[in-house]
Amino acid sequence: MTDPLIPLAPGSLSGKTALVTGSSRGIGADTVQYFAQAGANVVINFRNKAPRAEKLAAQLRESGVEVLVVGADLTDAESVQAMLSEVERAFGSLDILVLNASGGMESGMGEEYALQLNRDAQVRVLDAALPLLADGSRVVFVTSHQAHFIRTTPTMPEYVPVALSKRAGEDALRERIPELTDRGIGFVVVSGDMIEGTITATLLERANPGAIASRRESAGKLYNVGEFAAEVALAAVDPIPQTHTRLVGDTSSFAGE
């Protein structure tokens, strides 16, 4: 059984480079840590948490890998291009791209923000990264069961705009599978149940008290941040499922399409 704290064999990613969007904290931070443990050079991306990103980078550099910290607003095309230009200057190419950053429940954002971040920005990052992704590289898109199954299974009202926008992002990326396959680039969607300790779970609990406990009871278990991040990291190296989908956690209460 894989140790959830060391999902990838040490040295198994030596010489590789991995970029994880939204990786200054939470699932992204743990995922980037797992890649570094396996010997990969890593790119930590953040929007406005520079001190947190730099602290993580300092910790990872102690393991002997190279770490690039790049701030970028993924909803801004110039910002995304500048990030990938820095990656190219530092490492020349990319072997793993994890599209982890998402949002839409933040207060004060326009109603179009969820779609701009969860769909448009995901495609934008992929497009900007394509010149750096060589044959044998892998793209991983991180989503939730509540978004992945939104067409067939209702979710909490507070989460509907996020779920719809993330599913739209997943669909837009799936449309690119033939092109990616032709380039030798693998693509996997990692869909997880509600994850304990994430910002989204906290916001949902605030809007809908008892939501976490209710879902935990019906699912039997909810993954924590580290456990789910381990699945994301494994998705970057494991054989690609025929459906291009890695489902993490209970799906019995979600109806398939």
Range from 93-102, 122-131, 134-143, 221-230 carrying the lowest mean pLDDT: 221-230
pLDDT at 114 over 80: yes
Report residue 150's pLDDT band, with 50, 70 and 90 as the boundaries: very high
Q: Tell whether the model's pLDDT for residue 2 goes beyond 50.
A: no
Q: What is the pLDDT of residue 1?
A: 35
In the β-sheet with 94-99, what is the strand arrangement from edge to edge? 67-71, 41-46, 17-20, 94-99, 133-144, 186-192, 245-248
Average pLDDT, the chain: 90
Phi–psi pair at 186, nearest 5 degrees: -80, 150
| CA-angle at 234, arms to 34 and 194, nearest 5° | 90
Give the Cα separation of 244 and 81 in Å (integer): 27
Domain 17-248 grouped into CATH 1.20.1260.10:
no
pLDDT at 223: 78
pTM of the model: 0.92
Helix (H) or strand (E) holding 77, with range, is helix 77-91
Measured CA distances, 201 to 51, 191, 192, 196, 205 (Å):
24, 15, 12, 7, 6
Spatial CB neighbours of 179, under 8 Å, sequence gap ≥ 6: none
Segment 246-251 mean pLDDT: 92
Residue 215: how many CB atoms within 10 A of its CB? 22
Question: What's the pLDDT band for 5 if we cut at 50, 70, 90?
Answer: confident
